[in-house]
Structure 1
Amino acid sequence: MVGGSVDEKNGGAVLPPQHGEGDRAKRGGGGSRPAQRPVVYNARKLRRGMTIPERLLWRALRQRPQGIKFRRQHPIGPYIADFCCLQARLVIEVDGFVHDTAGRAERDARREKYIEENGFRVVRISAARVIADAVDTAARIDALAEGPLHQPSAGPPPRAGEVN
């Protein structure tokens, strides 16, 4: 019998498996990996392997100094944004030396275009700037998220020579 033990007192009823018993214990436990989108699986993997500048920036952003929530390694369509604020529709990309390699600029441009077409604003920050002062960088990002450049409720900006 694989799934439990027999209770002799209750007429031979099968009891549920005890801790450590059952067929899962014999297979190694845990069952199969849940079916999930590959981009979600990759995002989770990237969260575990963040670069040093990403870790420093995340340490500052996760404190929510202005009450603004950021997500790290957040999937947007087929792409994964380094940091994303859904409330402000803001994506932060930390660019290290790998973004300077051949062919990478084209891929970054396609990626940025897709993200912007889906209603997000993309801000690129160099990894060197984050390493130099992650707290100040996070404060500037919070300011961007708090006061977006375009405020549809305020109407269009004044024309040249006009005053509000």
Structure 2
Amino acid sequence: MQNRIHSRKYLEPYRKKLRKSLTPAEAFLWKQLQNKKLEGRKVRRQHSVENFILDFFCYEEMLGIELDGQVHFNEIATESDKIRTEKLNQLGIKVIRFENRMVFENLPEVLERIKASFKS
């Protein structure tokens, strides 16, 4: 049997809790990504891969989108994010990151960078 790496059952309660309590930046970006609004790509929110829960994930593109708030702006969090990104890259998932404020201040650029990350 293949080792399941997506949507592991034990993470389901955490994913549900996170979906119900999106940060303002996540909720703002989600409005632009839900219902295949961006280039017809299906994007999931709070999707798990192995033990990681990504803010947004497009399976078709194997693309993870992470939004970073103040909690990410210290040496320990930066190193942890780097290791996490490397592990996801090893699984074939490209990860792109945006600061929360960028979502509010420059949404068109954020959406363009996401589209530019699409393979096709």
Q: Segments of 4+ in structure 1 off by > 6 A?
A: none
Amino acid in the other structure paired with 1:44: K
Answer 1 or 2: higher relative contact order, Cα 8 Å, separation at least 6. Answer: 2
Aligned length: 112
Say yes or no: does 1:85 pair with 2:58.
yes
Q: Calculate the TM-score normalised by the size of structure 1.
A: 0.62
Amino acid in the other structure paired with 2:30: W
Query: Where do 5+ consecutive residues of structure 2 fail to align?
Result: 1-7
Query: Where do 5+ consecutive residues of structure 1 fail to align?
Result: 1-35, 148-164
Residue-by-residue CA offset, 1:6-31 (whole Å, 9 max, x unaligned): xxxxxxxxxxxxxxxxxxxxxxxxxx
What residue number does 1:65 align with? Answer: 38
* CA shift for structure 1 position 55: 0.6
Q: Calculate the TM-score normalised by the size of structure 2.
A: 0.83
* CA shift for structure 1 position 38: 2.7
- Two-structure CA RMSD over aligned residues (Å): 1.8
Partner secondary structure for residue 78 of structure 2: helix
Alignment check: 8 A CA contact 1:93 1:125 kept: yes
- The structure that is helix-richer by fraction is 2
Identity value in percent:
31
Q: Which moved more, 1:100-109 or 1:53-62?
A: 100-109
| Residues 122 and 65 (structure 1), Cα distance of their counterparts in 2 relative to 1, 3 Å cut | closer
- Bigger Cα Rg: 1
